[in-house]
Amino acid sequence: MADDPLVEIERRPITAAARILAGGPVALVTSSDRGRMNVAPVVWHTPLSSTPALVGIALERSRHSAEMISHAEEFALNFPARALLHHVQYLGAMSGSRIDKIEATQWETFEAIEVDAPLLTGCIAWVECKVQQVVPVGDHLLFVGVVVSVQVLPHAFDERWLLKDADVRPLHFLGERYYSVLEGVMEARAPGNSDAPERVLADRLVEELELSHDAQERRAELLGELAHDVALGNVIDVSQVGMGPGPLWAPPPGLALPHVSEGERER
Ligand SMILES: Cc1cc2nc3c(=O)[nH]c(=O)nc-3n(C[C@H](O)[C@H](O)[C@H](O)COP(=O)(O)O)c2cc1C
């Protein structure tokens, strides 16, 4: 790795922002309108409010789903796992304006609890929504939905995605034809009661960064240089070895370590 980490930074087109933000679980949005059903993959979705529970999906104006959901004023989100990988890609490559994708794929559906949109078998979680408002945003329409029902497979999701069984992990979209699944769960240590939470954060950050591969390499290099100096009988500065916050790592200029409030700890 180069000494100056900034030299590796490259500029990308502004359209890359959507791919950088991407990575949330893929959802298949289902709708039912005037006797027809439809399904399309969406990844531009987001939670918007806890109370009331609101979620948003951004659909390009030309999508058949956008027209159906505008009229039906409800939709359902179905969360597929890896067995449906290729289905997801196909469903995103054709419009429901020309074919009935659910019939064409002979996909088994079951009745939702609160909406008419069908729920898809083989998925691992289902969220039903009634449209509260439609907000035009650039070339998309943001459908803000009030969540009216949530169902899950409990071995896939409990209070959170469990990720124990590889067959019931949500799919994450990376762009083009590329997907991924989360590998496992890491539990972060939370700060305890402390008079100086900033100090705790700074110490933890230093500790974790120092465990990183680069830091270990750098420390080995420094120790080698110091050993060489010792062998030559030179005067050495032991503070360079950096046993705590010190010269091996310091926050970049301008980076203030955040204060963690009670409310922020949960998210
Ligand atoms: C993984 C994946 C995610 C997608 N996410 C979105 C999205 O968030 N919003 C959108 O408008 N289109 C999205 N698309 C494209 C639509 O799913 C695609 O245009 C689909 O054919 C629309 O079907 P419809 O016309 O029947 O609604 C996505 C496609 C794929 C493969």
Spatial distance between the Cα atoms of 157 and 163, rounded to a whole number of angstroms: 8
Separation of CA 38 and ligand 1 centre (Å)? 12
How confident is residue 200, by pLDDT bands cut at 50, 70 and 90? Answer: low
* Residue the block writes with tokens 């933000």: 21
How confident is residue 2, by pLDDT bands cut at 50, 70 and 90? Answer: low
The protein residue whose alpha carbon is closest to atom 9 in ligand 1 is: 59
- The top-scoring range by mean pLDDT among 15-24, 63-72, 236-245, 252-261 is 63-72
For all residues of the chain together, what is the average pLDDT? Answer: 85
Q: Do 42 and 59 touch, CB atoms closer than 8 A?
A: yes
What mean pLDDT is predicted for residues 103-111?
95
What mean pLDDT is predicted for residues 118-147?
98
Q: Do 141 and 62 touch, CB atoms closer than 8 A?
A: no
What one-letter code names the amino acid at 261?
S
pLDDT value of position 240:
53
Higher pLDDT, 171 or 215: 171
Exposure string for 61-86, b = 16+ CB within 10 A, e = fewer: eebbbbbbbbebbbbbbbbbbbebee
pLDDT value of position 194:
64
| pTM for this entry | 0.78
The protein residue whose alpha carbon is closest to atom 11 in ligand 1 is: 59
Q: Which atom of ligand 1 is nearest to the CA of 60?
A: 11
